[in-house]
Amino acid sequence: MSDQDYPFDGFNTRAVRAGQHRTNEQEQSEPLFLSSSFTFTSAAQAARRFAGDEEGNIYSRFSNPTVRTFQERLAAMEGGDACIATASGMSAILSTCMSLLKSGDHVVCARQVFGTTVSLFGKFLPRFGVETSFVPLTDYDAWERAITGRTRILFLETPSNPLTEVADIRRLAELAHAHDCLLVVDNCFCTPALQRPLEYGADLVIHSATKYLDGQGRCVGGAVIGPADLVDEEIFGFLRAAGPTMSAFNAWVFIKGLETLSLRMRAQSENAAALAHWLREQPGVDHVYYPGLNDHPQHELAASQQTAFGGIVSFEVTGGREGAWRVIDNVRLMSITANLGDTKTTITHPATTTHGRMTEQERAEAGIHENLIRISVGLEDVADLQRDLEPALAASRGR
Ligand SMILES: N[C@@H](CCOC(=O)CCC(=O)O)C(=O)O
Q: What is the DSSP string of 188-202?
A: TTTHHHH--GGGGT-
Report CA(345)–ligand 1 centroid distance (Å): 16
Question: What global pTM score does this model have?
Answer: 0.96
Q: Are 378 and 322 spatial neighbours (Cβ–Cβ below 8 Å)?
A: no
Per-residue confidence (pLDDT) for residue 4, from 0 to 100: 74
Contacts of 132 (CB under 8 A, 6+ apart): 106, 107, 108, 109, 121, 122, 125, 126
Q: Name the residue with the closest Cα to ligand 1, atom 1.
A: 114
Q: How confident is the model over 153-198, as pLDDT tens digits?
A: 999 999 999 999 999 999 999 999 999 999 999 999 999 999 999 9
Q: Is the pLDDT of residue 114 over 70?
A: yes
Per-domain residue ranges for the chain?
11-259, 262-396
Is any ligand 1 atom within 6 A of the Cβ of residue 353? Answer: yes
The DSSP-derived string for 296-344 is: STTHHHHHHH-SS--SEEEEEETTHHHHHHHHHHT-SSSEE-S----SS
Give strand pairing partners of 109: 134, 155
**3-class secondary-structure state, position 253:** helix
Per-residue confidence (pLDDT) for residue 5, from 0 to 100: 81
Answer left, alpha or beta for residue 164, where phi above 0 means left and psi between -120 and 50 means alpha: left
Report CA(15)–ligand 1 centroid distance (Å): 26
Atom of ligand 1 nearest to the CA of 354: 7
Other C-beta atoms lying within 10 Å of the C-beta of residue 40: 17
Per-residue confidence (pLDDT) for residue 206, from 0 to 100: 98
φ and ψ at 9, to 5 degrees?
-130, 15
Cis bond before residue 159 (omega within 30° of 0): yes
Cis bond before residue 192 (omega within 30° of 0): no
Q: How confident is the model over 55-83, as pLDDT tens digits?
A: 999 999 999 999 999 999 999 999 999 99
CA distances from 199 to 67, 138, 170, 182 (A): 24, 20, 9, 14
Q: Name the residue with the closest Cα to ligand 1, atom 10.
A: 116
Closest CA to 37 of 55, 19, 61, 20: 61
User: What DSSP state is assigned to residue 37?
Assistant: B
pLDDT band at 3 (very low <50, low <70, confident <90, very high): low
- Mean pLDDT of the region 5-31: 95
Per-residue confidence (pLDDT) for residue 1, from 0 to 100: 53
Question: What distance in Å separates the CA atoms of residue 368 and residue 273, rounded to the nearest whole number?
Answer: 21
Question: What distance in Å separates the CA atoms of residue 34 and residue 128, rounded to the nearest whole number?
Answer: 35
**3-class secondary-structure state, position 17:** helix
Q: Is the pLDDT of residue 143 over 60?
A: yes
pLDDT band at 365 (very low <50, low <70, confident <90, very high): very high
φ and ψ at 133, to 5 degrees?
-105, 135
Is any ligand 1 atom within 6 A of the Cβ of residue 352? Answer: no
Tell which CATH architecture fits domain 11-259.
Answer: 3-Layer(aba) Sandwich (3.40)
Question: What distance in Å separates the CA atoms of residue 14 and residue 353, rounded to the nearest whole number?
Answer: 36
Q: 11-259 and 262-396: same fold?
A: no
Is any ligand 1 atom within 6 A of the Cβ of residue 151? Answer: no
pLDDT band at 2 (very low <50, low <70, confident <90, very high): low
Question: What distance in Å separates the CA atoms of residue 64 and residue 87, rounded to the nearest whole number?
Answer: 14
Is any ligand 1 atom within 6 A of the Cβ of residue 96? Answer: no
Is any ligand 1 atom within 6 A of the Cβ of residue 269? Answer: no
CA distances from 60 to 37, 158, 224, 240, 382 (A): 6, 32, 18, 10, 43
234-259 burial, b at 16+ Cβ within 10 Å, e below that, comes to bbbebbeeeebbbbbebbbbbbbbbe
Closest CA to 298 of 158, 188, 172: 158
φ and ψ at 274, to 5 degrees?
-65, -45
Report CA(236)–ligand 1 centroid distance (Å): 25
Question: What distance in Å separates the CA atoms of residue 117 and residue 132, rounded to the nearest whole number?
Answer: 11
Per-residue confidence (pLDDT) for residue 258, from 0 to 100: 98
Question: What distance in Å separates the CA atoms of residue 79 and residue 198, rounded to the nearest whole number?
Answer: 7
Other C-beta atoms lying within 10 Å of the C-beta of residue 360: 10
Q: What is the CATH number of domain 262-396?
A: 3.90.1150.10
Q: Where are the beta strands (DSSP E) in the chain?
A: 82-86, 106-110, 131-135, 151-157, 182-186, 204-208, 222-226, 285-289, 312-317, 335-336, 346-348, 372-376
Q: Are 357 and 115 spatial neighbours (Cβ–Cβ below 8 Å)?
A: yes
pLDDT band at 398 (very low <50, low <70, confident <90, very high): confident
